[in-house]
């Protein structure tokens, strides 16, 4: 059968999702522990191949297995074996061949900025510390221009190989609670580094270096150098993915 799992992790101690030679990855830890649990070679495939340091509350992994363990029990059994910074949030059976990357979906990411004079040690791993005051109203306005279907080439890392840089952002909201500013973006797909470049650009808007209205021109230029810098990975969390048809 094919199994779908929701995977949460603190990305601090991992070199991202995808197996690679320079360090331990989320995918690798899941493969190893699932293989040990189920007694067969398991290879997971992920919906979002998050970068080193990026966190997740709702990434999706799928894999095929011959086990007779009920699909919904796999999450509980696997969590007994996983390190404490990776926790599966549920598992279920899906149709053979179903894959999260080949489905219409709505992905949501949050980028969190800690905006205050002093760093806060308890939030150092999941927020980007930014010392200068940010104007949240300006950030909200700038974010609104990103909503809708646009060519996001200006918000894509240089060198990324994609057929098209057109994506739809269903919502891009900016909220402040205490000292933490959260940029929440939901879209039908994201280009490489897209949310981090959006965050880096909105920080420049909040600080006054870019006018909110200028975001329209940044989109129109279709040029990475028109947008702001790529904000650091550790402020980013993959929140979840909704699919049109899954079970």
Binding site for a copy of itself (CB under 8 A): 8-10, 55, 57, 75, 79, 84-90, 117-122, 124-126, 237
Measured CA to CA, the distance from residue 174 to residue 119 in angstroms comes to: 21
Q: CA 2 to CA 99: how far, in whole Å?
A: 9
- From the CB of 154, what's the least distance to a copy of itself, in Å? 30
Q: Which of 84/247 has CB closer to a copy of itself?
A: 84
Structure-block tokens of residue 168: 């739809």
Cβ closest to a copy of itself, residue 29 vs residue 215: 29
CB 15, CB 68: distance < 8 Å: no
Nearest distance in Å: CB 53, a copy of itself: 12
Report the residue number, 88 or 94, with the smaller CB distance to a copy of itself.
88
Contact call for residues 69 and 77 (beta carbons, < 8 A): yes
SS3 state at 90: strand
CB of 5 to a copy of itself, least distance (A): 11
Select 57 or 214, whichever has its Cβ closest to a copy of itself. 57
Helix, strand, or coil (residue 106): strand
Catalytic residue, from 10, 51, 85, 135: name it. 51
* CB neighbour list of residue 185: distance below 8 Å, 6 or more residues apart: 108, 109, 110, 111, 146, 169, 171, 172, 195, 198
**145 labeled binding residue:** no
CB of 221 to a copy of itself, least distance (A): 35
CB of 197 to a copy of itself, least distance (A): 23
Query: Long-range CB contacts (< 8 A, 24+ apart) of 163-167?
Result: 165/191, 165/222, 167/191, 167/194
Q: Quick check: is 223 catalytic?
A: no
From residue 170, how far is each of 59, 83, 163 by CA, in Å?
A: 19, 35, 21
| Residue list, annotated binding site | 109
Binding residues for substrate: 109
Active site residues: 51
């Amino acid at each position: 059968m094919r199994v779908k799992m929701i995977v949460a992790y603190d990305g601090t101690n991992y070199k991202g999702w995808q197996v690679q030679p320079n360090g331990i990855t989320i995918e690798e830890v899941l493969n190893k522990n699932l293989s040990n649990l189920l007694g067969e070679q398991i290879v997971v495939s992920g919906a979002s191949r998050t970068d080193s340091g990026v966190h997740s509350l709702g990434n999706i992994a799928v894999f095929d297995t011959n086990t007779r363990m009920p699909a919904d029990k796999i999450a509980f059994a696997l969590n007994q074996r996983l390190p404490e910074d990776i926790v599966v949030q549920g598992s279920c059976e899906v149709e053979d061949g179903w894959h999260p990357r080949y489905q219409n979906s709505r992905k949501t990411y949050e980028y969190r900025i800690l905006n205050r004079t002093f760093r806060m040690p308890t939030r150092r791993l999941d927020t980007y510390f930014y010392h200068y005051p940010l104007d949240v109203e300006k950030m909200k306005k700038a974010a609104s221009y990103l909503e809708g279907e646009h060519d996001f080439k200006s918000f894509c890392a240089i060198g990324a190989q994609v057929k098209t840089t057109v994506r739809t952002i269903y919502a891009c909201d900016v909220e402040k609670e205490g000292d933490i500013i959260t940029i929440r973006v939901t879209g039908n797909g994201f280009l490489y580094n897209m949310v981090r470049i959006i965050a880096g650009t909105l920080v420049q808007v909040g600080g006054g270096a870019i006018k909110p209205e200028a975001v329209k021109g940044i989109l129109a230029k279709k040029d990475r150098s028109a947008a702001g810098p790529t904000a650091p990975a550790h402020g980013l969390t993959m929140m979840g993915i909704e699919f049109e048809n899954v079970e």
